[in-house]
């Protein structure tokens, strides 16, 4: 991932099936660093991983990729059982240039976690500054 080699995406995606959750998490992190949209579909499959650390890395990677498919995959994560997964997903919502996540961010403002609520506020501000003026 640090080498920014898009050709590595298929090999990284193969590691999403690895029995070791640390390998799955690191592969997701590397795919996110590369930021190639070809990683979006394989990363979606990792969002339901039983290990929260793997889901966190996949959510962060999808936020870095930032395409519509990534946003669609991230939207349900604002309700994940793991607070850090929710915070990462909510934080990624601000990276997108459309108003689709606004309702999810408003919901996140009432999250049990103060960190998620704070992140939702920052993401709302970031999102509204990114979308066209007539939409914000």
Alpha-carbon torsion, ordered 77, 69, 24, 80, to 10 deg: 0
| Total count of residues recorded for the chain | 136
Question: Computed from CA positions of residues 118, 122, 125, 130, in that sequence, does the dihedral angle turn out positive or negative?
Answer: negative
CA–CA dist 57, 84 (Å, integer): 10
Query: What are 102's two structure tokens?
Result: 């606004």
Q: How much is the pLDDT for 97? A: 76
Q: Domain extents for the chain?
A: 6-130
Contacts of 19 (CB under 8 A, 6+ apart): none
Q: Residue 122: enclosing H or E segment and its boundaries? A: helix 114-130
Which pTM does this prediction carry?
0.86
CA–CA dist 64, 86 (Å, integer): 16
Cβ atoms of residues 136 and 103 within 8 Å: no
Q: How much is the pLDDT for 99? A: 80
CA–CA dist 97, 28 (Å, integer): 23
The CATH class given to the 6-130 domain equals mainly alpha
CA–CA dist 28, 16 (Å, integer): 7
Query: What are 95's two structure tokens?
Result: 């990276």
Q: What is the pLDDT tens value at each position of the chain, 136 positions in all?
A: 445 566 788 899 999 999 999 999 999 999 999 988 999 999 999 999 999 999 999 999 999 998 889 999 999 998 999 999 999 999 999 888 778 898 999 999 999 999 999 999 999 998 888 766 666 5
């Amino acid at each position: 991932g640090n080498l920014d080699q898009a050709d590595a995406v298929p090999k990284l995606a193969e590691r999403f099936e690895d029995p070791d959750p640390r390998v799955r998490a690191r592969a997701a992190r590397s795919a996110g660093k590369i930021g190639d949209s070809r990683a979006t579909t394989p990363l979606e499959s990792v969002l339901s991983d039983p290990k929260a650390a793997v889901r966190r890395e996949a959510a962060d990677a999808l936020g870095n990729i930032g395409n519509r498919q990534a946003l669609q995959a991230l939207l349900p994560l604002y309700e994940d059982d793991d607070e850090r997964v929710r915070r990462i997903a909510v934080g990624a919502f601000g990276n997108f240039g459309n108003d689709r996540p606004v309702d999810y961010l408003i919901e996140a403002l009432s999250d049990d976690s103060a960190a998620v609520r704070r992140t939702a506020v920052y993401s709302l501000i970031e999102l509204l500054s990114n979308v066209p003026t007539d939409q914000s």
